[in-house]
Amino acid sequence: MHKVASFLRGRLAVLTRQPCISPTLARIHVACGALCQKSALRSPPTDVPEMPPCSFSPEEYKGMSKARMMEIRQQNCSPMTMKVTYYKEPVFIHQGYMQWLWDVDGRRYLDLFAGVATVSVGHCHPKVRAAAEQQMKKLWHTTNIYVYPTLHEYCEKLVSYFPDPLKVIYLTNSGSEANDLAMLMARLHTGNYDIITLRGSYHGGSPQAMGLTSNAAYKYPIANGLGCTNTMCPDVFRGPWGGSHCRDSPVQTTRECSCAQGICMANEQYIGQLQETLATSVPTRIAAFFGEPIQGVGGAVQYPKNYLKQAYKLVRERGGICIADEVQTGFGRTGSHFWGFQGHDVIPDMVTMAKGIGNGFPMGAVVTTPEIAASFAKGIHFNTFGGNPVACAVASSVLDIIKEDGTQKVSLDVGSYLMVELAKLRDKYEIIGDVRGKGLQIGVEMVKDKVSRDPLSHQDMVEIFEDVKDMGVLIGKGGVYGQTFRIKPPMCITKEDADFFLAVFNKSIQNYMERR
């Protein structure tokens, strides 16, 4: 009874705008009925793990009704908005603070998806908000036809995080725009046209970037991405080759491995596939190779440790440049390094980024070498909003916070702990096929069984996904078959938050197994 009362005090505190720290942190509570927004087809769980306390008090919501929002969403918003809406009973988000989100009814959620790996240092981080407010008092907008301090202060700060010769920056408004620009620059610089990407990759949804993206769900039946060729993804779990020592990760696959020390037969096979693609599917001279250090939308897929190093060598031998898409892996998210490519011991010729660069503020960038930048200067490229003063002020504060708050170390420590504990659940449940990632870029791949490794069905994934949400945690989904849960939270979560999610995820799997 004390546990129930403790939980209700926490929920009441949210609704009355009082601090939501409870006197004691009970481990289990009874589900809250009306606040849980359950589907009519599902019975609420009788007991769920209790959230860690939170000292922030959200504002009381007094806005538009949920019914009216859904009417507008269906009638006036793009049909795609409804198509991508998560959950049978959507989450109506009202306010956010650090790793927490509140819906319009005052219910609190632990956000482990961060607006699709975008909120890097925390929702409405006080220092980011202060930087935006201070800049908005002085100058909201101007363009590169004038010289203004925030642009140059930010560019100087950002290039300090890159090794030579990556010292020239183009600022954009999104990752798709950055990748579009990188494609153009690569083709102009090399004089070649063909670009290679990995199957299962996601590099954006614009008409050009759609060609780089290799996932049928994001394709349309029109001509797109002329000159883009996909090669086999070196996925050591789902692919034809893999072992138990392939990945740079705290957790390896459960596949058997007979490789000698320092040898990776899986890597050799996947490099062989790339060589086959180069020999059969593209001209002898190519423009570029695009690769995410860890696939994002593809389901946090990791490659064998030396794959990118050998791939870069092959591409450069054919006149191409190597482009690292750091839209999801950059800014310390992988924990061990600031940039994902550093974990592969390579230096790209070009790096694209977005999402975490602005903690949710629309911004992207391309960083390249002076030589490649000079090739691009043959014509005029103008971006009205790229390098906007407010965007630069926000992005500059994000870099400061990453250093001051130690978010990269948080990613390493909490992410490693989370993966090791998730691996214990993988060993416990037949339907958890793989746990992988680095830092707070984590994927949990669900299967029908460990022998076949066939993807868990869409309906089964939805059941677990909904259950996790109903217990107060927001995660993402990905993978070519939608079979992977994606865990990419703001880089301010704690070990206590991780323990809460682990308890919720374990409970959701238990519930699923009982229903099955």
* pLDDT tens-digit readout, 184-223: 999 999 999 999 999 999 999 999 999 999 999 999 988 8
* 290 & 338 share domain: yes
* 340 & 316 share domain: yes
Calculated CA dihedral for residues 49, 426, 325, 323, nearest 10 degrees: 170
6 lies in a domain?
Answer: no
pLDDT-derived band at 224 (thresholds 50, 70, 90) equals confident
Query: Of 372, 387, 405, at which residue does a domain stop?
Result: 405
* 394 & 374 share domain: yes
Evaluate whether 323 touches 286 at the Cβ level (below 8 Å): no
Lowest mean pLDDT among 46-55, 56-65, 435-444: 46-55
* 184 & 231 share domain: yes
* 233 & 247 share domain: yes
Return the structure tokens found at 349. 């010729």
Return the structure tokens found at 6. 């403790």
Sequence-ordered strand ranges (E) for 173-316: 195-198, 228-231, 288-291
Report strand pairing: 288-291 vs 195-198. Answer: parallel
Left, alpha or beta for 360 (phi > 0: left; psi -120 to 50: alpha)? left
Query: Of 405, 428, 450, at which residue does a domain stop?
Result: 405
pLDDT digits (tens, 9 = 90+) for 334-345: 999 999 999 999
Lowest mean pLDDT among 45-49, 213-217, 282-286, 421-425: 45-49
* 443 & 346 share domain: no
Place of tokens 């632990």: 110
Residue 1 has pLDDT above 80, yes or no: no
Residue 165 has pLDDT above 70, yes or no: yes
What pLDDT does 48 receive? 81
Contacts of 228 (CB under 8 A, 6+ apart): 194, 195, 196, 197, 211, 212
Residue 294 has pLDDT above 60, yes or no: yes
Residue 63 has pLDDT above 70, yes or no: yes
HSE-CB of 150 using CA atoms within 13 angstroms: 24
Calculated CA dihedral for residues 395, 361, 99, 90, nearest 10 degrees: -170
What pLDDT does 463 receive? 97
Residue 414 has pLDDT above 50, yes or no: yes
Radius of gyration for the alpha carbons in the chain, expressed in angstroms and rounded: 23
385 lies in a domain?
Answer: yes
Contacts of 348 (CB under 8 A, 6+ apart): 166, 312, 321, 322, 323, 324, 341
**Structural domain span for residue 451:** 88-117+407-515
Residue 396 has pLDDT above 80, yes or no: yes
Evaluate whether 96 touches 469 at the Cβ level (below 8 Å): no
What pLDDT does 46 receive? 59
Q: What is the mean pLDDT of the segment spanning 474-496?
A: 98
Evaluate whether 203 touches 232 at the Cβ level (below 8 Å): no
CATH number at residue 443: 3.90.1150.10
What pLDDT does 261 receive? 84
Contacts of 363 (CB under 8 A, 6+ apart): 171, 172, 173, 174, 354, 357, 388, 391, 394, 395
CA 351 to chain centre: 16
What number of other Cβ atoms are within 10 A of residue 110's Cβ?
A: 23
pLDDT-derived band at 26 (thresholds 50, 70, 90) equals very low
48 lies in a domain?
Answer: no
Residue 44 has pLDDT above 70, yes or no: no
* 106 & 147 share domain: no
Evaluate whether 140 touches 329 at the Cβ level (below 8 Å): no
Cα separation of the two ends of the chain: 31
pLDDT digits (tens, 9 = 90+) for 103-127: 999 999 999 999 999 999 999 999 9
Residue 156 has pLDDT above 60, yes or no: yes
Higher per-residue pLDDT: 24 or 94:
94
Evaluate whether 171 touches 365 at the Cβ level (below 8 Å): yes
- Percent of the chain whose predicted confidence (pLDDT) is above 90: 86
Query: Of 378, 405, 432, at which residue does a domain stop?
Result: 405
Among 453, 425, 446, 444, smallest CA distance to 510 is for 425
What pLDDT does 43 receive? 52
Residue 310 has pLDDT above 60, yes or no: yes
pTM: 0.90
What pLDDT does 493 receive? 98
pLDDT-derived band at 319 (thresholds 50, 70, 90) equals very high
Domains identified in the chain, total number: 2
Q: What is the mean pLDDT of the segment spanning 469-480?
A: 97
Q: What is the mean pLDDT of the segment spanning 147-173?
A: 97
pLDDT digits (tens, 9 = 90+) for 343-390: 999 999 999 999 999 999 999 999 999 999 999 998 898 899 999 999
Rounded to whole angstroms, the Cα distance separating 363 from 352 reads 11
* 256 & 323 share domain: yes
pLDDT-derived band at 478 (thresholds 50, 70, 90) equals very high
What pLDDT does 225 receive? 77
Residue 95 has pLDDT above 60, yes or no: yes
Specify the 3-state DSSP secondary structure of 5: helix
Place of tokens 């050591």: 236
Residue 28 has pLDDT above 50, yes or no: no
Strand partners, 197: 230
Give the mean pLDDT of the chain.
91
